[in-house]
A and B are shown apart, each in its own frame.
Chain A
Amino acid sequence: MSADTKIIELRQFLAERLPRARLGVAPERIVPATLPTGIESIDQGLGGGLPQGAFTELVAPGEGSGSAQFIHALLRHTASGGRFLTLVDGADSLDIDALEPEALAHLLWVRCRNTAEALQTTDLLLRDRNIALVVLDLKLNAAHELRRIPGTLWYRLSRLMEQHGGTVLVITPQPLVAGAAARIVSRTRLDHRDLERSPETLNLRFETEQRRVREAGARQTA
C-alpha cells in the first residue's frame, strides 16, 4: 500500500470519526457569542464584546488606569439590559457611593480579602450555571499573591466555563491569565484633573487583542 493510499484512508477515517474536521480545506469561520460591554472601542475591537464561555483579561498597569471606571461602566451597561453582574472583588475596593442604587440592584458583590479567597469563590461561581458574567478584579491584590497563582488554574477554570457557559473578565495589573480568549490593555492615565470630570467625559483608552477564537457554547445563561 502506497503512502498516498494510506493518507487517503487516514483522511476518510478522520472524516468519519470527526465530521467537523476539514483536512486540506479552509476552516469554517466561527463567530463566537459575545457579551457587549457598552464601551464602543472594546466592543468593536473584540467583535461585539466579551467572548462568552471564555476568559478575557483586562490588563490595567500602573496608576489611574481606569479599571474602576471600566467596572462601573460595565455594571451600568449590564443593568440597563436587565442582566446581572457578579463582581469578585479581590481587594474589596468597589466604590459604592459612585454607583446608582438601580445599578447596584443588578450586582452580586463578593468582597474578598486576598487573592486566594477571590480565586476560591470564582471557582465556586463558575460551577454554578446560574452565573452569566463574572468580573474577577485582582487589580489591587498584592503582587506576591498574584505571582503564586499557578498557570494551570486558568486552564482548569476555562474548562468549567466551557461546561457551564460563564463569561469571566479578569482585571490584573500585568498580563497574568494564560489562555485568555481576548486581552484588553488599558492605556488610560487618569490624574487629579479627572476628579472634576463626569465619568462620561473621561478619556478612557483601551487596546484590544483577540488571542484565540473558538466556538463559544450555545448555552445562554440568566
Chain B
Amino acid sequence: MYAVIHLPQFALQASLRLSPELWGQPVALVDPVRTTPVVLETTPPARDAGVERGQTATQALARCTGILIRHRAPARESATTDVLLQCAYGFSPHLESTAPGLCTLDLRGLSRLQPPEPDALQAWAQGLQSSLTAQGLRSHIGFATTPNLARHAAQSGMAVHVVTDAARFVASLPLAALEPSSDTTRILTGWGLRTVGELLALDPAELTDRLGLEALGLLAAASTRNTRPLKTIRPPEVWTESWDFEEPVETLEPLLFLLRRFTDSLCARLGLAGRAAERVDLSLRLESGNRLERQLNVPEPTRDAAVLQGLLATHLDTVRSESAVVGLQLTLETTVPVQRQFGLFETTLKDPRQFQETLGRIAAILGSDRVGTPVKLHQHGIDAFRLVPPEFEGVAALSQPRPALQAPGLRRLRPAPVATIESIDGRPSSIRCSIAHGRLVVTLGPWRASGRWWENGAWHREEWDATTLRGQVLRLVHQPDGWTVDALLD
C-alpha cells in the first residue's frame, strides 16, 4: 500500500505558509522571471473577484483593486518541500520526493496499517494532515496499491481518498490524468474518448498500431498492477526558516511575531523528528547590507517553542542596529533530547520550563558563557574551568561539608589589573595599580609554576603574596609581560 501527499497550489502554499491569514484575502502569485508576469495561482477570494490563471498582474489589479500580488519564490518552495518531507518522515521512513508538492510514502512495515483497513488509513491520514496543517500547509492524501494510483487518488480533490476498487477508480479517471501528449490528446478527444475506462475498453494492439509507443505508456500508466521502486530519500536535517520583509522593519513586534511562527513551526517538526534544539542562530539582514548575527545557546536542549521564544525575545530586547531590518533567518542546531529517569526521592525543579527561560534571559543579558555550573578542567593551571548547564537531578550531596583544601579561598580579579611593582633585592617593595598603591609591608614568595611547556601555549608565572599598608593581602603575579594582581584575600 502506498500513500501520496499532494499539496494543491503548491507554489502559492509555499508563499503563504508563514502567513496563512492571507488565504482569506485576494492574493495572486505571479512568476517574476517571465517577460510578462502572469498569474499562476490565486486564493479563493481572488477567484471570486474574477482573477484567473494566465492573466497579467495589471489585469488582475483591474479586476480586484485590493489584490495582493506575490512573487513566486523558489527558495520558499524548496523550504516548503523540506517541511513536507520532514513531516512525512515522522509517519513513514520510506518516502520519495516525487515532484514539487508531491510526496510518496511506502506504508509497508507500518504495523498499525497492516492490514490496510480504510478506517485505520483515514485516522493515519488525519494525523499526518494535522501535522501539515500545523505547518500552514493544506494537503490531500491518497491511498492505493501502486504509487501511480495513489497519486491519482491524492489529486482527485478529496481530502483523503482510499482506493478500494482500483479498476473502477482508474476507469473513472479523466484521460488527462494519464498525461498524454497534446497530439495524442487531440486524437483521443476526436475519437470521443473522455475517461481512462473508455481508453482501456479499446484493443491494446490496435491502439498501439494507431498511436505508437505512447499508447504503451498510457496503458502502463493506467495499470492497476504496475508498481515502481521509490527513490527513497531522507529529509534534510536542516531546521531553518527565513523571511524577507517587503518593507524595512524598525520595531521589535514584527520580528517577534514572525519568530513566534518560526519557532512554532520548527519545534513541531523537531517533535516529529525526535530532536531538540541546543543552539539558536539568529541572523538579521539590515538595510545597510550588514548582518547582525548571534548564536544563542539553549541552556538545556528543548523543543518547547515558548522557551525559544523567550530566549529570542530577551536577546532582541538588547539589540540595537544602525539601520532597519529587511530580512531574518532562524536556524536551530539540534541534538537528541536528554532522557532522564527520575528517582522516587530526588528533588526536581518545580517548573523546569520557567527555569530554562530564566537561564536564557540571564544568558541574553550576560552572555551564555557567564551563567551555569562551574566544572574544573583536568589541566594544571590557575582558574581553569568551564560552565555547563546546571543539573538539578541526580547530583550527589557533598559527603564532607568541611573543606578538603588546605588553604583559604581568595577573591579572583577578572580581568586581573595590571600593576607597577618596584622591587628591592628581587622582592616586591611597592605597588601601584587600580586597586592598591603604596608600600608593601609583607611579601611572601616567590612561588613558581609552569605548564604546557611541551607544546604551544606554554606558560610560567611567579606568584607573591603581599600585604599593603592598608592591610590588603594581594596575590601578585609576575609573567613575562609584566605584573598583575590576580586575587586578594577576603
Contacts and interface: CB of A to CB of B under 8 A. Distances in A.
Interface of A: 38, 60, 62-69, 71-72, 76-77, 79-82, 84, 92-113, 117, 120-121, 124-125, 127-131, 139-140, 189-192, 194-200, 202, 221-222
Contacts of B470: 63
Contact of A98 (B354, B410, B465): B410
Contact of B406 (A63, A101, A198): A198
Contact of B376 (A79, A101, A202, A222): A101
A95 B486 CA distance: 11
Contacts, number: 202
A121 B365 contact: yes
B490 A64 contact: yes
Given A64-B490, A222-B392, A94 B405 contact: no
Given A110-B370, A192-B467, A140 B403 contact: no
Interface residues on B, range: 35 or more
A107 B373 CA distance: 6
Contacts of A120: 365
B185 to A, nearest CB: 68
B24 interface: no
Given A95-B410, A107-B373, 7 more contacts: A64-B473, A72-B409, A82-B395, A104-B374, A106-B395, A120-B365, A190-B473
A186 to B, nearest CB: 10
A113 B365 CA distance: 11
B354 to A, nearest CB: 6
B316 interface: no
Interface string B457-474: 000000001110011110
Interface stretch (B72-80, B83-91, B257-265, B344-352): B344-352
B140 interface: no
Contact of B405 (A98, A189, A194): A98
B398 A110 contact: no
B459 to A, nearest CB: 16
A66 B365 CA distance: 30
Contacts of A194: 408, 473, 489
B301 to A, nearest CB: 18
B400 to A, nearest CB: 7
B397 to A, nearest CB: 4
B368 to A, nearest CB: 11
Contact of B408 (A69, A80, A103): A69
Nearest to B358: A128
B490 to A, nearest CB: 5
Given A108-B390, A129-B354, A68 B374 contact: no
B401 A76 contact: yes
11 contacts: A64-B472, A68-B408, A80-B397, A80-B401, A82-B347, A95-B487, A104-B373, A108-B372, A128-B355, A130-B352, A192-B444
B412 interface: yes
B390 to A, nearest CB: 5
